[in-house]
Amino acid sequence: MVPEVTDDPGLGGTRTTDGGWWRSAAVYQVYVRAFADGSGDGIGDLAGVRSRLTYLRDLGVDALWFNPWYPSPWADGGYDIIDYRAVDPAFGTLADAEQLIAEARSLGLRTIVDVVPNHVSDQHPWFRAALAAGPGAPERDWFWFRPGRGARGDDPPNGWVSHFGGPAWTRAKNPDGTPGEWYLHLFAPEQPDLNWDHPDVRREHEDVLRFWFDRGVAGVRIDSAALLVKHPDLPEVDDDHGPGEHAYVDRSELHDIYARWRAVADAYDEPRVLVGEVWVPDPERMALYLRPHELHTAFNLDFLQAPWDAHRLRTSIDGTLAAHAAVGAPATWVLSNHDVTRPVTRYGRADTSFAFETKRAGTPTDLALGQRRARAAALLAMALPGSVYVYQGEELGLPEVEDIESSRRQDPMHHRSGGIDPGRDGARVPLPWSGDRPPYGFSPPGTEIDPEATLPQPDGWAALTAEAQLADPGSMLRLYRAALRLRHGEPDLGDGALRWLDPADAGVLAFARGERFACVVNLSDAPAALPPHERLLLTSAALDADGRLGPDTAAWLRLPSPPNEIREHEWSGQ
Ligand code: ISL
């Protein structure tokens, strides 16, 4: 492959990789509503992002992925879209988005936008037209309308369950107001599923891709990418199905759709990148999406859910690398996003894995322990082969905000569980930028906050603001900045191979990148010796008096030159 030079004005110099920029990139996820409020209405917006672009450049990331910024009634955090070619007025205008894309690029930051192909808002013109047209009309074929079961059609067409709880079907009214057909929604009722067997649906989305690619975005993140295609007969879910034959998850027909999207992306002089949100547990099925003619990368959701445990992490890393190697795709490493519990909180609990099903409020949490582990996890993720994602606030070590009153929560996951599931709002609270009380510089001074529209920031975040952390060499922000800078300057980090260095202690993960870089993570509860090294590059916490790596600590090392083979007699790991 021809080497490509990627621009990197923020960090000085250029970086050469064998493939595209995305194979090694550090991508920062921006949840616009909670990032920064430029207009002074208490809601984050594009002006706020533009005012903080230098913060992102200085953090050392290569690209920004924006959660949906389109017009939306906000029934599901913007994942219910009315118009895929516009910007929500609360966030700004299309011209603002174009300016943001260009400004970011001039600072060396590429832009990735979110596309949501599985469903639209129930306020989208297509769904309104389908409702207005009534049963049998061609507009209904864009969606999944079906008569109900039972004598009067009172029961949903099948037993599928929504991801947010309750039936995946809602009964629509006929144009004359009488009870009518039911429509499918794998998520909230305000998010009707599109029918991907319909050529209009396919054409429309390819056109939406071109719309954003033409405006200079470098790629798209594809929401719920494994759910688009449904079995045409809408059968009950049967766990005994063959590969690719589940009623609506990971169906084989999806691959035609993404091959077409790839052709759209590849038609640009600088080919655009497709990043899939593919929740498919089988690594081999997952790798099918990453074949050279389909998606470029996908989020590593296995790693995201893994507990803080050396064996489980190593298994996840090995499984990931083997599956990706088979199709020549780079892995990605993700510690958090807008859907999951903040790492500082998750790692401070007895159960450090993530699962939607087990989220409960009031779980005992040791935040100091969580913080220590989150720091080590960051160095692990950034040293692994491939690209890495950072969700806004992760670099500040924000904890999950757990004491938001139910009435102020916005997430349908919370409300549709009858309040049992805390939902995802605790990771979507406005960022603290400066000052010692809410809104911590999130909004301009004097802004009146509308409690209906904005999630509350906790008291006690003064030490977590970006301003405070920049001044504190021991802060999470300073660690992220140092690590991302080092990662940029290390030719062996990013895309490439990994070589495990095996310490005797099973609670230690240690691997080399290239000949002279090593990452060691101690997940045991005793201090661990470091392998022979020339220099310590970075640690997530200070070494002990004997130069050993404490529990829940990670180190980046420069290995000796000429490289020694590390043998067990030299390094016991203890
Ligand atoms: O809900 C799940 C499991 O019960 C997840 O697997 C779910 O499919 C996944 O979180 C999809 O998330 C994405 O699409 C959702 C949106 O609410 C999320 O914010 C988004 O990341 C619907 O658009």
For residue 547, the CA-to-ligand 1 centroid distance in Å is 44
Closest CA to 264 of 203, 180, 312, 328: 203
Closest CA to 495 of 8, 23, 5, 9: 23
Pocket of ligand 1 (CB under 6 A): 76-77, 79, 116, 163, 187, 223-224, 277, 279, 338-339, 356
Phi/psi of residue 56, each to 5°? -70, -40
What tens-digit pLDDT sequence spans the chain (574 residues)?
Answer: 223 333 333 333 333 345 799 999 999 999 999 999 999 999 999 999 999 999 999 999 999 999 999 999 999 999 999 999 999 999 999 999 999 999 999 999 999 999 999 999 999 999 999 999 999 999 999 999 999 999 999 999 999 999 999 999 999 999 999 999 999 999 999 999 999 999 999 999 999 999 999 999 999 999 999 999 999 999 999 989 999 999 999 999 999 999 999 999 999 999 999 999 999 989 899 999 999 999 999 999 999 999 999 999 999 999 999 999 999 999 999 999 999 999 999 999 999 999 998 888 889 999 999 999 999 999 999 999 999 999 999 999 999 999 999 999 999 999 999 999 999 999 999 999 999 999 999 999 999 999 999 999 999 999 999 999 999 999 999 999 999 999 999 999 999 999 999 887 789 999 999 999 999 999 999 999 999 999 999 999 999 999 999 999 999 999 998 766 665 456 765 4
Atom of ligand 1 nearest to the CA of 76: 17
Pocket probe mutation, ligand 1, options 33, 81, 185, 224, max atoms within 8 Å of Cβ: 224
Q: What is the DSSP letter of 413?
A: H
Answer for the pair 198, 147: CB distance below 8 angstroms, yes or no: no
Q: Which residues pair with 554 in a beta bridge?
A: 521
For residue 509, the CA-to-ligand 1 centroid distance in Å is 31
- Residue whose Cα lies nearest atom 19 of ligand 1: it is 339
For residue 89, the CA-to-ligand 1 centroid distance in Å is 24
For residue 250, the CA-to-ligand 1 centroid distance in Å is 14
371/92 Cα distance (integer angstroms): 35
Atom of ligand 1 nearest to the CA of 118: 23
Q: Which two tokens stand for residue 459?
A: 């008291």
For residue 469, the CA-to-ligand 1 centroid distance in Å is 32
Q: Which two tokens stand for residue 477?
A: 């922000």
DSSP for 433-463, written as a single string? -SSSSTTTTSS-TTPPP-TTTSPPPPTT-GG
Q: What is the DSSP letter of 156?
A: -
Establish whether the linkage from the previous residue to 562 is cis, with ω within 30° of 0: yes
Give the pLDDT score at 2.
29
Give the pLDDT score at 562.
72
Is CATH 3.90.400.10 the right assignment for the domain spanning 125-184?
Answer: yes
- Residue whose Cα lies nearest atom 9 of ligand 1: it is 224
- Three-state SS letters, 469-482: HHCCCCCHHHHHHH
pTM: 0.95
Residue 348 corresponds to which amino acid? Answer: G
For residue 224, the CA-to-ligand 1 centroid distance in Å is 6
DSSP for 314-360, written as a single string? HHHHHHHHHHHHHHTPPPEEES--TTS--HHHHTTSS--S--GGG--
Is CATH 2.60.40.1180 the right assignment for the domain spanning 498-572?
Answer: yes
Atom of ligand 1 nearest to the CA of 227: 8
Return all residues near 243 (Cβ < 8 A) that are at least 6 apart: 252, 285
Residue in the block written with tokens 């989208």: 124
- Residue whose Cα lies nearest atom 16 of ligand 1: it is 79
Give the pLDDT score at 565.
64
DSSP for 368-386, written as a single string? HHHHHHHHHHHHHHHHSSS
Pocket probe mutation, ligand 1, options 114, 277, 280, 415, max atoms within 8 Å of Cβ: 277
For residue 340, the CA-to-ligand 1 centroid distance in Å is 10
Residue in the block written with tokens 């050279």: 292
For residue 549, the CA-to-ligand 1 centroid distance in Å is 38
For residue 475, the CA-to-ligand 1 centroid distance in Å is 31
Residue 181 corresponds to which amino acid? Answer: E
Atom of ligand 1 nearest to the CA of 279: 6
Taking the domains of the chain in order of start, what are their residue ranges? 21-118+200-230+274-481, 125-184, 498-572
- Residue whose Cα lies nearest atom 11 of ligand 1: it is 224
Q: For the domain 21-118+200-230+274-481, what is the CATH code?
A: 3.20.20.80
For residue 193, the CA-to-ligand 1 centroid distance in Å is 13
Three-state SS at 194: strand
Give the pLDDT score at 570.
64
- Residue whose Cα lies nearest atom 2 of ligand 1: it is 163
For residue 191, the CA-to-ligand 1 centroid distance in Å is 12
- Residue whose Cα lies nearest atom 8 of ligand 1: it is 224
